[in-house]
Chain A
């Protein structure tokens, strides 16, 4: 017998002649009925578990769930790290060193957080590409796509702000260059850089700013956007394969959820394996005067880094703002740029070609950056006129 869903609007009492069992439930409700009458929780859960999946939905649609899981894990590992981390120029490096060396699982937890961020970027890209090639952003799902693009940018923001926190050489120099990019904008460039850094140079206030953004602003934005994204996914349902397949819709639970669980298991397994096998490094403490360190951003920003190399003098704004800006705006506008009625890639040729050109460009530039390690003139700095430069202490 199907279980009756209780709701405050339609109380069971008085609707019809009650059976003895119903009377017992009403007079002495179980904890589940008692809470359900007040929260409507089981109805909500049931509705989501019974969500109809069009025939043909399968493994490709598991990426969203994996992303959610990995993002939730970032909150958990981030919370643990925040309990040991101290965002000061004197203490940040020491506290991360302590996380790495002071406790047997500290390094593993940091590894989960660091590799988790890399994995999230990879899965997000795969998720975006799946939606792009399937044309799932078409009416009425334009806003679902738009909010997804915002989430993607929030994730990149997490990566950029988190990179500085260990306050090692890599962190300091990548942020020095990264924040300087803002200064290439006309008119507002320099004030914007000072605002981001909290001063003219990368220092104590840059660290506290980035930390505040990393643990407060971006998580709040992520929760809000993800909530909206999920609401929209449920409101408009899964788009299904490009060519409708025969067969009735299947409920989300248990078939699709099982596939999701397998992919989550695999993803988290890979994450744990990476964290154990490749513990995150910590380089020498940030040294603003060091001339023996060639700054390199995180690998997924290497495409932009390489683009900067080929821009002629005075045109760096093309690489710092115009190209990234056009890609972002282009991504946001995809549902409106693609006017084809069909979702089939064969009928969406120009958007497919444009999309693949952008993907190829980013891919080639990123690969170029990865292969050129270390970059030219990367090491050995010294003033040839003096092998041991004098250091003047001024008190």
Chain B
């Protein structure tokens, strides 16, 4: 009869399948916890731009009288924006068209893959230099690969001045 303190008994105990299984699972669980402890905050930090929502940012770009009805004008404006860790003055471009009842500001990014479109006033068309997309002066796709009409910026007219929201797609 073993007194449960002999060397062989201790060996048997160490080799006990149940105990080995328990220890193996414990090692796995500890490793998972350690990895999760490190990777969760890292993934959260890397993914933080996904949660960032930009506030509306109205910029006075021109007087309403400067634009004739049916006319399209390329307007550049500067705005201070937070770019990651720094506040920078960034220049923006919009194409503003005046309709009888409203003003629309088209974003210059092609809806295909984001290349900068060019406005051809004589043809009343926007052309994309990358993959040959063509939009009419109302931003609708005429030909080429762009899947959607041009994105627009929110516009408001106050006291005879045209104000544009800096964020592309803000009119949607």
Binding site for B on A (CB under 8 A): 88-90, 173, 176-177, 180-181, 184, 191, 194-195, 197-200, 203-205, 208, 287-291, 293-295, 305, 308-309, 311-316, 375-386, 389-395
Is there an interface contact between A383 and B95, defined as CB atoms closer than 8 Å?
yes
Is there an interface contact between B74 and A383, defined as CB atoms closer than 8 Å?
yes
Task: Please give me the residue from chain A that is nearest to B119 by CB atom.
Answer: A383
Is there an interface contact between A385 and B72, defined as CB atoms closer than 8 Å?
yes
Most buried by A among B89, B95, B113: B113
Is there an interface contact between A204 and B83, defined as CB atoms closer than 8 Å?
yes
Is there an interface contact between A177 and B115, defined as CB atoms closer than 8 Å?
yes
In the assembled complex, B91 has its CB within 8 A of some CB on chain A:
yes
* A-side contacts of B159, CB under 8 Å: none
Q: For the complex, what is the distance from the CA of A288 to the CA of B109, rounded to whole Å?
A: 10
Q: For the complex, what is the distance from the CA of A314 to the CA of B148, rounded to whole Å?
A: 8
Is there an interface contact between A293 and B116, defined as CB atoms closer than 8 Å?
yes
User: 5 shortest A-B CB distances, which residue pairs?
Assistant: A384-B121, A383-B74, A204-B84, A381-B118, A205-B84
Q: For the complex, what is the distance from the CA of A381 to the CA of B93, rounded to whole Å?
A: 13
Is there an interface contact between A289 and B91, defined as CB atoms closer than 8 Å?
yes
Is there an interface contact between B129 and A294, defined as CB atoms closer than 8 Å?
yes
The proximity string for B residues 42-60 relative to A, scoring 1 for CB distances below 8 Å and 0 otherwise, is 0000110110101000011
* B-side contacts of A389, CB under 8 Å: 73-76, 93
* A-side contacts of B121, CB under 8 Å: 383-385
Determine how close the nearest CB of chain A comes to the CB of B69; give it in whole angstroms: 13
Interface of A is mostly: loop
Is there an interface contact between B91 and A288, defined as CB atoms closer than 8 Å?
yes
User: Which one of A293, A376, A390 lies within 8 Å of B76 (CB-CB)?
Assistant: A390
Q: For the complex, what is the distance from the CA of A389 to the CA of B78, rounded to whole Å?
A: 13
Is there an interface contact between B93 and A289, defined as CB atoms closer than 8 Å?
yes
Q: A376-B129, A390-B76 are in contact. Are A194 and B50 (CB under 8 A)?
A: yes
The proximity string for B residues 86-107 relative to A, scoring 1 for CB distances below 8 Å and 0 otherwise, is 1011111101000000000000
Task: Please give me the residue from chain A that is nearest to B54 by CB atom.
Answer: A200
Is there an interface contact between A180 and B114, defined as CB atoms closer than 8 Å?
yes
Interface size class of B (residues with CB under 8 A): 35 or more
Q: For the complex, what is the distance from the CA of A287 to the CA of B116, rounded to whole Å?
A: 11
Is there an interface contact between A390 and B62, defined as CB atoms closer than 8 Å?
yes
Known: A288-B91, A316-B112, A381-B116. 19 other contacts (CB 8 A): A180-B113, A184-B113, A191-B50, A199-B84, A200-B54, A289-B93, A295-B115, A295-B129, A309-B145, A311-B145, A313-B141, A313-B147, A316-B147, A377-B132, A383-B72, A384-B119, A384-B122, A389-B93, A392-B61
* B-side contacts of A177, CB under 8 Å: 113-115, 130
User: Which one of B46, B74, B86 lies within 8 Å of A386 (CB-CB)?
Assistant: B74
Q: For the complex, what is the distance from the CA of A54 to the CA of B47, rounded to whole Å?
A: 51
Q: A313-B147, A314-B147 are in contact. Are A392 and B116 (CB under 8 A)?
A: no
Determine how close the nearest CB of chain A comes to the CB of B110; give it in whole angstroms: 9
Is there an interface contact between B78 and A394, defined as CB atoms closer than 8 Å?
yes
* A-side contacts of B80, CB under 8 Å: 394-395
Most buried by A among B59, B71, B120: B120
In the assembled complex, B79 has its CB within 8 A of some CB on chain A:
yes
Determine how close the nearest CB of chain B comes to the CB of A186; give it in whole angstroms: 12
In the assembled complex, B150 has its CB within 8 A of some CB on chain A:
no
User: Which one of B50, B113, B128 lies within 8 Å of A377 (CB-CB)?
Assistant: B128
